[in-house]
Amino acid sequence: MSDTFGRDYWERRYEGHEHGHGTHRGPNPTLVETAGELDPGTALEAGAGRGEDGIWLARRGWRVTAVDISEAALDQAAQSARDLDPEAAARITWVRADLTEWAPSEPGFTLVSSHYAHPTGRFERLVERLAAKVVPGGTLLIVGHDTSEAHTHAAPHDRPAHAHMSAPRVAAVLDPAEWDVLEADSRERVVTLPDGGHKSMRDAVVRARRHR
């Protein structure tokens, strides 16, 4: 990754607890909806942040590999896991790595989930790498900031356009001979602001199942 979203950027962000990163907020609802229909298996949480999704999965019996570029984020995530559920914490492996370069030792995962990753290159390239880590019969879930948010007042000024994603364009990188695309659309999400107010944003969601 370039310096825009390199390790130093994320270390500063998490060490300073900016934008609510100092609070355990619970899992992303799209993950809860998707994984709630699956039998527990092996999961990759790509771009783990403070680990809310990985902790939620582990508490439901999944064996989780949680990867993030920030050591500060993973330290906070591991502590949260130990505090919330020591037994579940033992089912999580925390890995500090750049997802654009990381090669797992595992042969693959039954669930690969990524929420709001910020690659510096084309989003589709990251998705190709993540999709390659899904075993046949497994599920890929990618959620990102929809491209419709890129030029609105809702978009943070430090987030370049390529940190957003178009669900149809991301889904197009999945070979129909190998994948069934179950969803490739945008969804509205209401977020709570630090002052207690609310703001509507749009997420792009791609959910697919690998059939070979």
pLDDT at 162: 53
**Low pLDDT (below 50) residues in the chain:** 1-3, 18-24, 151-161
pLDDT at 9: 57
pLDDT at 11: 58
Q: What pTM does this model have? A: 0.83
pLDDT at 93: 97
For residue 48 the two structure tokens come to 């783990």
For residue 173 the two structure tokens come to 């990188």
* Cβ neighbours for 126, distance < 8 A, ≥ 6 positions apart: 99, 100, 114, 117, 119
The backbone torsions φ and ψ at residue 17, rounded to the nearest 5 degrees and listed phi first, read 55, 35
Q: State the Cα–Cα distance between residues 146 and 55, nearest whole angstrom.
A: 26
Rounded to a whole number, what is the distance in angstroms from the first to the last CA of the chain?
Answer: 30
pLDDT at 79: 94
> What is the homologous superfamily of the domain 7-210 according to CATH?
Vaccinia Virus protein VP39 (3.40.50.150)
Condensed to tens digits (0 to 9), the pLDDT of residues 174-186 reads 999 999 999 999 9
pLDDT at 129: 93
pLDDT at 91: 98
pLDDT at 114: 96
